[in-house]
Amino acid sequence: MKKLICLVLPAVMLFCSVGCGSDDIGSANTSSNITSSKVESIDKNSSTSSDVTDESSDDSTSSKEEATVDDWRTHPEDFKLIALTYDDAPSFSDTNGNSTVRIIDAINKYDGRGTLFVVGRTLQKNGKALLEYAAQKGFEMGNHTYSHQSVSTSEVGKSWSAAEHFEDFNRCQELIVSETGQTPKFLRPAGVHTNEELYLAASSLGLPCVSGNCKRAVSDYSSSTSADMIVERVLANAFDGAIILLHGNNARTAEATERLCEILYNDGYRFCTVSELFELHGIDYNDLPFNTMLYGVDPETGEVITGKKY
For binding to Zn ion (CB under 5 A), which residues are involved? Answer: 20, 23, 87-88
Minimal distance, residue 46 CB to Zn ion, in Å = 26
- Which residue number has the CB closest to Zn ion? 20
C-beta of 128 vs 148, nearer to Zn ion? 148
Closer to Zn ion by Cβ: residue 23 or 197: 23
Our CB check for Zn ion shows the closer of 108 and 149 to be 149
Q: Whole-number minimum distance, CB 69 to Zn ion, in Å?
A: 39
- Paired sense of beta strands 296-297 and 304-305, if any: antiparallel
Q: Could you report how far apart the first and last alpha carbons of the chain are, in Å?
A: 17
CA distance 137 to 133: 6
Helix (H, G, I), strand (E, B) or coil at 297: strand
* CB-based contacts of 83, cutoff 8 Å, min separation 6: 114, 115, 212, 242, 243, 244, 271, 272, 273, 274, 276, 277, 296
Instruction: Output the smallest distance, CB 191 to Zn ion, in A.
Output: 7
Residue 279, Cα to own-chain centre: how many angstroms?
Answer: 16
Residue 274's nearest CA partner among 144, 28, 89, 83 is: 83
Cβ atoms of residues 211 and 188 within 8 Å:
yes
Smallest distance from the beta carbon of 130 to Zn ion, in angstroms? 16
Tell the smallest beta-carbon distance from residue 192 to Zn ion (Å): 8
Q: Which is nearer to Zn ion, 23 or 220 (CB)?
A: 23
Nearer to Zn ion, 20 or 101 (CB): 20
